[in-house]
A and B are shown apart, each in its own frame.
Chain A
Amino acid sequence: MSAVVQLDAIHKTYESSEVPVHAVRGVTLSIAAGEFVAIMGASGSGKSTLMNLLGCLDRPTQGRYLLDGTDVAQLDRNQLADLRNQKLGFVFQGFNLLSRTTARENVELPMLYGRRRFTTKEIHDRALQSLDLVGLRQRADHFPSQLSGGQQQRVAIARALINEPQVLLADEPTGNLDSKTSVEIMGVFQKLNAQGITIVMVTHELDIAHYCKRNLIMRDGRLVSDTAVTDRLNAAAEMQRLLAAEAEAKLTA
């Protein structure tokens, strides 16, 4: 399979403080289409910086980053924005939905900023399609405040998917959710991955990483481990198990 993400000895140094902070020190990484990667590491290990680099929110100070064959280092602010818009989808820990804006309108947002012009109807239809993928079509006209945490995160996923990106980037997508809802979200990810979407996520929870196909561990700005997941968890099965346990707890109570 061809590599969607190709990192070549990537460095990132922040010069803003008195002592330059060397956050990422030479990461070389290749992620092929259809992969499902979890990046783990302690705080300060550079995983968030790596995520920002992968997400084209920031440019590397050294090294080469090819996203779907495009060298990111050469692009200006607006070209990076277009790249994010067309090739990447973002899911954040804090959902980052616009409040007082319906689920559908939140999902439409990336399409509004696309360089291609769509009719209002096209945008509507695509947003509903995207919400369908995460099973929230019937909640299209709800506001984020009327949705549970898991539902909000699914809206965010639908937003990330609307422009049919090459890679879905998720930064601690289950960080704000309870364990059952976390399994629910991982189920959505596994389903999307099964449909061929490449997913890269940052997490610090080992059990969440077990739903992925490949685990990377970072320490002090370097990749120290890169393993394929052998005992991969299936979210659907886990959900069954959780529900059964819940039912049993109710019976005994």
Chain B
Amino acid sequence: MRFINVIKVALRALRRSAMRSVLTALGIIIGVAAVIAMVSIGNGAKSQVEASIASLGQNIITVFPGSMTSGGMRGGWGSASSLTVEDAEAITREVAGIAALSPEMNDRSQVLANGLNWNTTIRGEDISYLDIRLWAIDEGEMFSEADVHSATKVCVIGRTTATQLFQDSDPIGQSLRIRNIPFKVLGVLASKGFNFFGQDQDDVVIIPYTSHLKRIARRPNLNSIIIQAQSPEVMARVQQDITDLLQQRRNGKEPDFTVRNQQELAEAATATTKTMTLLLGAIASVSLVVGGIGIMNIMLVSVTERTREIGIRLAVGAHGRDVLTQFLVEAIILSVMGGALGVALGVGASQIVSKLNNWPVLVSTSAIVGAVGFSALIGIFFGFYPARKAAQLDPIEALRYE
């Protein structure tokens, strides 16, 4: 039989019981839609995580003080006060491949201005901090190198802090008081939103680290040093060099610092979302298999119902292979049509989800190709047994079948 006729006959048979065909294909439709939606949503989440990690800055290495043990109580990372401005200067001086560096101070404090008060994070930073973090000034300007050098009482504030303290009035040029010390607001930072850990990054006051050391914290030690390497390729070496240099500066004492790089965090986070995507996809594929079993079930019923038809076809000269092809093609058409509808449904669903969550739409082509290909395979796999059963019927028995 010509293939075009095979397809015609199959389509007619499917149309004859349209409702049943649609319900049968529904298993595949849902399965494919689920796979595509899950993978797309997973990819969207992954890119969201990647974007939020990228917003922390590129190629960043951070040095934290080590842990301090006092009276048998171990304080955990960052509890020691062992990181100094000299360490930061030594790194700038001696380690190659560094794009920018900023010694960091970090405190929470009550801030007063405009008759209002607000508890927020007070960061002490160098001027390069905004470049490292890819952070822009929205209004006004950043403090200058001279301000850092002379520990001036100036600051830039985040959008949240600006709203909380100054409300509708322009904060530029006004002053706010941290621990009773007045700081002049030079600029307002562009809004950066929540970070990967759910903290509001805009709830901040940034002052020169020198001012922070001298006027706010009143201690000689830094909370951390943030370093930007020139490229991802030199990251590992820069990290090693920093470790070696700091160790050398401690004259063989126990290392009281730790050097972390953001790549590790990024890798861990993307690995998590990748696993989630895989898991969601795997669960969705189960429904594809269930859909395939539905097709097999209906094809078996169809073979029984059409025993006489098969008998007639065999009697007038159809080979077993002709009958096999006919039923197999029917099963494949069912599953591929289901697959196509499933793609439409899955893409639609992932568009809606990404719109609701403000995620980028990431419908992966490989998921579409994979799901449709897989559904065709399911058609062949689950259609083969009923088709073979039909092909092996005895024409006499089949003709006599009521």
Contacts and interface: CB of A to CB of B under 8 A. Distances in A.
Contacts of B318: 81, 113
A74 B319 CA distance: 17
A237 interface: no
B396 A58 contact: yes
B5 A96 contact: no
A154 interface: no
Contacts of B309: 98
A81 B317 contact: yes
A117 interface: yes
Contacts of A84: 315-317
Interface in B234-252: none
B12 interface: yes
Contact of B396 (A52, A86, A96, A98): A52
Contacts of A57: 315, 395-396, 399
B312 A96 contact: yes
A163 B321 CA distance: 21
Interface string B1-31: 1100100000010001000000000000000
Contacts of B316: 84-85, 90, 109-110, 113, 159
Residue in B312, B313, B317, B399 with the greatest tally of chain A CB atoms within 10 Å:
B317
Contacts of A97: 312
Interface residues on B, range: 20 to 34
Contacts of B312: 96-98, 109
A222 B321 CA distance: 37
Interface in A38-58: 52, 55, 57-58
A160 to B, nearest CB: 8
A248 to B, nearest CB: 41
B346 interface: no
B308 A96 contact: yes
A78 B399 contact: no
Nearest to B396: A57
Interface string B377-402: 00000000000000000011001000
Interface in A86-130: 86, 90, 92, 96-98, 100-101, 109-110, 112-114, 117
A82 interface: yes
Contacts, number: 57
**Mostly helix, strand, loop or mixed at chain B's interface?**
helix
A114 B320 contact: no
Contact of A113 (B16, B311, B313): B313
A1 B319 CA distance: 33
A77 interface: yes
Interface in B300-353: 308-309, 311-322
B399 A81 contact: no
Contacts of A98: 309, 312
Given A96-B312, A112-B5, A101 B12 contact: yes
Given A52-B396, A101-B12, A81 B314 contact: yes
Indicate the member of A55, A81, A92 with the most B CB atoms within 10 Å.
Answer: A81
Contacts of B314: 81
Nearest to B397: A57
B320 A77 contact: yes
- Give the one of A82, A110, A117 with max B CB within 10 A: A110
Interface in A167-213: none
Residue among A57, A90, A101, A110 having the largest count of chain B Cβ atoms under 10 Å: A57
A110 to B, nearest CB: 4
Contacts of B12: 100-101
Interface in A3-25: none
Contact of B319 (A78, A92, A96, A110): A78
B2 A81 contact: no
A52 B316 CA distance: 13
Given A77-B319, A96-B308, 9 more contacts: A57-B395, A57-B396, A78-B320, A90-B315, A109-B316, A112-B2, A113-B1, A113-B322, A114-B317
11 contacts: A57-B396, A78-B319, A81-B317, A81-B318, A82-B317, A85-B316, A85-B317, A90-B316, A96-B312, A109-B312, A159-B316
